[in-house]
Chains A and B, each alone.
Chain A
Amino acid sequence: MSSLQVENLKANYGPITALKDVSIEVPQKSIVALLGANGAGKSTTLKCISGVVKPAGGSIQWDGAAITGETPNAVTRKGIAQVPEGRRIFKDLSVTDNLEMGAYTRSDRAQIEKDLDDIFDLFPRLKERHSQLGGSLSGGEQQMLAIGRGLMAAPRLLMLDEPSLGLAPIVVSQIFETLQRLVAERELTILLVEQNMKMALKVSSFGYVMQLGKVMISGSSDELEENKEVYETYLGIA
């Protein structure tokens, strides 16, 4: 049973309160969307889970055990990987080396090689460009590489922060199709942060809408899609 439970999470950046009260649940083998306008605290929530930001309060449970405040190294070893906003590819490293860095916390060499081939099957473009520098890839290819790098940690929970940002619609649908396939075919759960709400609700089964560091509305994605309040009040779309 690999599910994620976040309860009453609080976080500050210095004197600024970023998260006031966030409680979310991500059941296994599902795609859950975390929605909200800029500055709502979506990224901070992911960063608390991955251990980059230390929470000021609340708890994070993974597989039934608390991982609150653990380092990214420990969290990654426990099967949670984050694909950061803006892709953050290592520009001066080759595509293969970027992927290898995703597997930094692992030492099962044979399985790493297998997973590398697996990523190349999933994204043939990356295979063609395996020796090129990360910085030389196009935006869409970089996003594939960022997702591939996340998958190289062999995660059971993959957290994606704005994967559609700055990409052409056709590339976005390709990437989301791949993600849906991954969840259907393997032991993978996805927590998706998106501003592209339509797309996010299409692929997810459940969603949370955040505003100013709090979860305001939650519900099944179909429900949220119908809910006018979500669009108007929290996402600022008239």
Chain B
Amino acid sequence: MLGQQILSGLATGSLYALTAIAVVVVFRNTRTINLAQGDFAMIGAFLGIIFLKDWGLNYFAMLLLVVASCMFLGAFVERVIMRPVADSDWLTLFTTTIGVYYILHGFAGWIWGRDTKAFPVSFDPTPVELFGALVSKGHLYNMGIALLIGGVLWWFFTKTKQGIAMRAVTDDPETAHLMGIPVKFIVTLTWCMAGAIAGFIGVLMAPIIYVSPEMMDEILIKGYVAAVFGGLYSFRGAVIGALMIGVAENLAGGYLGSHYKTSVAFIMIVVLLAFRPQGLMGIQQRREI
């Protein structure tokens, strides 16, 4: 029973982890806490329904197209909305993303309605045995995809020129600019990446929580909490934070009752920040935000 709770906690946690990574990716290079991150995934989920139902695409073509569309959405938001205010302080940037959040919510509600829609692909609850515990195929699939995305991101950030350049821009944008690194292009790239990750999250979450303009609100908050947990700069910290939240809320749900689930994430962050204001892996006062 305990093993089972932990495993399905890790499965949910891995989706929070993807959200947290996307939050960290954007924050590191733009000092922007992107409240609209969840909405990229929400738009992706709605598009997924269209691609499957109206266009009759198969699952993988749909996934690919959703990811590409969300990537484009990320780039669009950066170029059109965020770039003009890019030099402002963090509060202005954050407030602008609140605007994007409401615009995307409103847009989705206007086009697709406010009702919750079922996703044409359903979550596969068939149990599979793993390390002596039972876990559903759907959870296993989500964990696998999350792990795969994590691996690709690790490869990108450590082995590719653009990935290393992205980290260089995080470290010191002025010097990166001096080396000839096109800093603005790199910033667009980070929003593309946040969009692409959101595309995956949208398609993976939709079968579990169904599709509505508000579908991602709670997940975004948890992903954000996980990102803060890790110190907002650290991918590793964000992933650890997300998995801990996933497991903790699942244990709380299993042993205390399901209405305690959400509070657990927040109790954890309050306790952590009380003792470690810089987060789990944060480097204190990286730069003034």
Residue among A76, A88, A91 with the highest chain B CB neighbour number at 10 A: A88
Judged by a CB distance under 8 angstroms, whether A72 is at the interface is: yes
Q: Does A73 belong to the interface (CB within 8 Å)?
A: yes
Residue of B168, B171, B179, B181 contacting most chain A CB atoms (<10 Å)? B179
B178 & A90 in contact (Cβ 8 Å cutoff): no
Query: Are B175 and A90 in touch, CB under 8 angstroms?
Result: yes
Q: How far is the CA of A93 from the CA of B169 in the complex (A)?
A: 11
The contact of B177 among A52, A90, A92, by CB within 8 Å, is A52
Q: Kindly state the interface size class of chain A when it binds its partner.
A: 20 to 34
Closest to A107 in B: B161
Cβ–Cβ < 8 Å partners of B176 in chain A: 90, 101
Choose from B168, B174, B178, B180 the contact partner of A93 (Cβ within 8 Å): B168
User: B182 to A90, Cβ gap below 8 A?
Assistant: no
Number of interface residues of B (CB under 8 A): 17
By beta carbon, the residue of chain A nearest B233 is A92
8 Å CB contacts to A: which residues of B73-121?
none
Within 8 A of A (CB), among B176-207: 176-182
- Docked-complex contact B177 and A104, CB < 8 angstroms: no
Nearest opposing residue in chain A for B181, CB measure: A104
Q: By the criterion CB–CB under 8 Å, are B172 and A88 in contact?
A: yes
Interface of B is mostly: helix
Which residues of chain B have C-beta atoms less than 8 A from A104's C-beta? Answer: 161, 165, 179-181
Asked whether B12 is an interface residue with its Cβ less than 8 Å from the other chain, the reply is: no
Residues of B within 8 A of A52 (CB): 174, 177-178
Complex partner residue of A101 from B164, B170, B174, B182, CB under 8 angstroms = B164
Known contacts A50-B178, A105-B180; A90/B172 CB under 8 A: yes
- Mark interface residues in B195-238 (1 if CB within 8 Å of A CB, else 0): 00000000000000000000000000000000000000000000
Residues 87-103 of chain A, each 1 if its beta carbon lies under 8 Å from chain B, else 0: 01011110001001110
In the complex, how many angstroms separate the beta carbon of A145 from the nearest chain B beta carbon? 12
Quick check: A100 and B161 within 8 Å, CB to CB?
yes
Q: Which of A190-206 contact B (CB under 8 A)?
A: none
CA distance A90 to B176 in the complex (A): 9
Does A100 lie within 8 Å of B179, measured CB to CB? Answer: no
Quick check: A101 and B168 within 8 Å, CB to CB?
Answer: yes
Residues in B neighbouring A84, C-beta threshold 8 A: 175, 178
B276: interface (CB < 8 Å)? no
Which chain A residues (179-194) contact chain B, with CB distance < 8 Å? Answer: none
* B residues whose Cβ falls under 8 Å from a Cβ of A: 161, 164-165, 167-168, 170-172, 174-182
Please list 5 pairs of residues, one from A and one from B, whose beta carbons are closer than 8 Å in the complex, sorted by A's number: A50-B178, A75-B180, A90-B175, A93-B168, A153-B180
